[in-house]
Amino acid sequence: MSFSSLGLSEEIVRAVTEQGYTTPTPIQLQAVPAVLAGGDLLAGAQTGTGKTAGFTLPLLQRLSSVERVKINGHVPIRALILTPTRELAAQVEESVRVYGKYLPLTSTCIFGGVGINPQIRQLKQGVDILVATPGRLLDHMQQNTVDLRNVQILVLDEADRMLDMGFIRDIRKVLAALPKKRQNLLFSATFSDEIKSLADGLLNAPAMIEVARRNSTVEVIGQKIHPVDRDKKHPLLAHLMKTNAWNQVLVFTRTKHGANKLVEQLERDNITAMAIHGNKSQAARTRALSEFKDGKLQALIATDIAARGIDIDQLPHVVNYDLPNVPEDYVHRIGRTGRAGATGSAVSLVCVDEHDLLHDIERFIKREIPVEFIEGFEPDPKAKAQPIQLRSGGGGGGGNRQRSGGNGGNGGGNRSRTQQPGGGAQPQAQSAKPRGPGKPQGPAPAGPSRGPASRPSALTHRSGGRGR
Ligand code: AMP
């Protein structure tokens, strides 16, 4: 099946062909005809599936196939795409430009963290397609600097993330400002009750599409665990980057402070690195991302929120410097590599504090990740787990949530964790995870059959036949 047989115009097919796309991905195969038909759409798809082109291509086609009528001399906004993060907004708009390069359509992108005045000027000139994050769009609505009365197509991209990030009220206010008659496309990786209720109120007899969840497609990504002591992670990362000549590595840390510290440490090793996280200005984030994409930076150090939506073609290496405390984030992180069919590698540097987190991740992805000890960096088998600090000190509500990592690498069945709030210690196999509101539950636990003690021992001892 080719793009032209999906009913897309020659201009659009030419643009995607220039991107090197030869065949539509499964989500594109289903979404393009559904959107071209003009009805509403509910699509279950994650980043990495080609979903952006899945809604952008037919959207471009629909807008370009009718003559644009100016209103009071201005080009009216006919399509509105809402995304959860600034990075995703910028990338979606970039895709709109790339796929629409042979079409006479205009677009712009608005998000917070940057000056509002250039956006106001841009909006005054008029655009066909507006990509926005909900908060900044609302600012413009309140200042009367955006006119949404002519929107014909609305896209909610990564709707579950928008709800997770607390945007539901903003979204509802935006919806109230749109014309009643329009086409609605809702993309979400997961379907919580909140998403279902949003979809129920928004969509009219939608076509429904679901493509494979990411955690069933991670097979293309080579995953590995390198056990290491907590204070040896940085030299191990530098060692891996140098000996394997890794020149473009996306590294995840748990906290913003951890990201900043790692940048300093890598720079001392003559490895070029920058951090991208919520405390960085938008200009600094954009610069870091573009230098990384251009190959000027060897390492981009990111926290989970900042990394959402980062789309870099063929990113070869992802490193979990710290394991995430939510298993879904592991899948999102490693999904930054091995995109759209490319292969990639994802390595996790795991210290004794993180054995519980690893256990939860392996249950979630329903597989054990191969372990490989690196000569000279083997962890001390007697090391004791310490509580993990989940957030950088100070900033933001919620305080520092801590979680114990069990009581030691070799411990027997009596491992416990501190839980919050009101959780109490739970046996590992049935632990209730700390999750944000509305966070989806993972697939039904069907983890590998092994006692809770066997994995820690495999992670601290070279013997036992694992790895390699
Ligand atoms: P997305 O899920 O929209 O974030 O897209 C993931 C990646 O797949 C992006 O880097 C796209 O450039 C790429 N991509 C999208 N569609 C195709 C396709 N049909 N063939 C190859 N790569 C694609």
Task: Return the domain boundaries, the chain.
Answer: 4-210, 221-460
Q: Over the stretch 8-40, which tens digit does the pLDDT of each residue have?
A: 999 999 999 999 998 999 899 999 999 999 999
Distance CA 428, CA 450 (A): 12
Least confident range from 62-71, 285-294, 378-387, 412-421: namely 412-421
Statement: residue 221 has pLDDT above 80 = no
Which CATH code is given to the segment(s) 4-210? 3.40.50.300
Residue that the structure tokens 């059959």 belong to = 449
Q: Is the CB of 312 within 6 Å of ligand 1?
A: no
Q: For residues 311 and 74, which has the higher predicted lDDT (pLDDT)?
A: 74
Which sign, positive or negative, has the C-alpha torsion 2, 8, 11, 16? negative
Q: Over the stretch 81-113, which tens digit does the pLDDT of each residue have?
A: 999 988 899 999 999 999 999 999 999 999 998
Closest C-alpha residue for ligand 1 atom 11 = 50
Distance CA 90, CA 290 (A): 12
224, containing H or E segment: strand 221-227
Distance CA 301, CA 315 (A): 14
Note the pLDDT of residue 367: 82
287: tokens are 């610069």
Does the pTM of the predicted model rise above 0.75? no
Q: What is the mean pLDDT of residues 236-242?
A: 95
Distance CA 5, CA 29 (A): 10
Distance CA 59, CA 183 (A): 10
Q: For residues 346 and 1, which has the higher predicted lDDT (pLDDT)?
A: 346
Pairing mode, if any, of strands 129-132 and 273-276? unpaired
Note the pLDDT of residue 194: 86
Q: Phi/psi at 362 (nearest 5 deg)?
A: -65, -35
**25 Cα to the center of ligand 1, angstroms:** 8
- Range list of H helices, 348-443: 355-365
Distance CA 97, CA 106 (A): 8
247: tokens are 């020149």
**446 falls in which pLDDT band (50, 70, 90)?**
very low
Average pLDDT, the chain: 81
Distance CA 79, CA 247 (A): 39
Burial classification of residue 443, based on how many CB atoms lie within 10 Å of its CB (0-12 exposed, 13-18 middle, 19 or more buried)? middle
Q: Hey, is 442 helix, strand or coil?
A: coil
Q: Is the CB of 187 within 6 Å of ligand 1?
A: no
Highest mean pLDDT among 174-183, 396-405, 435-444: 174-183
* 426-431 contacts at long range (C-beta below 8 A, 24 or more positions apart): 428/356, 428/359, 428/452, 431/356, 431/360
Pairing mode, if any, of strands 317-320 and 249-252? parallel
19: tokens are 């991107």
**409 Cα to the center of ligand 1, angstroms:** 41
Distance CA 94, CA 169 (A): 27
Note the pLDDT of residue 270: 93
Q: Over the stretch 43-57, which tens digit does the pLDDT of each residue have?
A: 988 777 899 999 999
* Contact (CB, 8 A) for 131 and 83: yes
**99 Cα to the center of ligand 1, angstroms:** 12
Q: Is the CB of 21 within 6 Å of ligand 1?
A: yes
Residue that the structure tokens 């895709």 belong to = 95
Statement: residue 457 has pLDDT above 80 = no
The number of angstroms, rounded, from the C-alpha of 262 to the middle of its chain's C-alpha atoms is 21
436 CB-side CA count, 13 A: 17
Q: What is the mean pLDDT of residues 319-331?
A: 88
143 CB-side CA count, 13 A: 14
Q: What is the mean pLDDT of residues 368-384?
A: 91
The DSSP annotation for 121-169 comes to HHHHHB-SEEEE-HHHHHHHHHTT----TT--EEEETTHHHHHHTT-HH
**134 Cα to the center of ligand 1, angstroms:** 24
**CATH 3.30.43.10 matches 221-460:** no
Note the pLDDT of residue 157: 96
**312 Cα to the center of ligand 1, angstroms:** 10
Q: For residues 278 and 323, which has the higher predicted lDDT (pLDDT)?
A: 323
Q: Hey, is 323 helix, strand or coil?
A: coil
**48 Cα to the center of ligand 1, angstroms:** 6
Distance CA 85, CA 303 (A): 13
Closest C-alpha residue for ligand 1 atom 12 = 313
Distance CA 271, CA 234 (A): 12
Q: Calculate what percentage of the chain has a pLDDT beyond 90.
A: 53
Same fold, 4-210 and 221-460: yes
Statement: residue 127 has pLDDT above 90 = yes
Statement: residue 326 has pLDDT above 90 = no
Q: What is the mean pLDDT of residues 442-450?
A: 36
Q: What is the mean pLDDT of residues 270-299?
A: 87
How far from 38 is each of 63, 185, 273, 287, CA to CA, in Å? Answer: 11, 10, 46, 38
Q: Which atom of ligand 1 is nearest to the CA of 49?
A: 2
Mutate to test the pocket of ligand 1, among 5, 8, 19 (most ligand atoms within 8 A of CB): 19
* DSSP 8-state code for residue 347: E
Residue type, 400: N
Which sign, positive or negative, has the C-alpha torsion 406, 407, 413, 415? negative
Q: Which atom of ligand 1 is nearest to the CA of 91?
A: 4
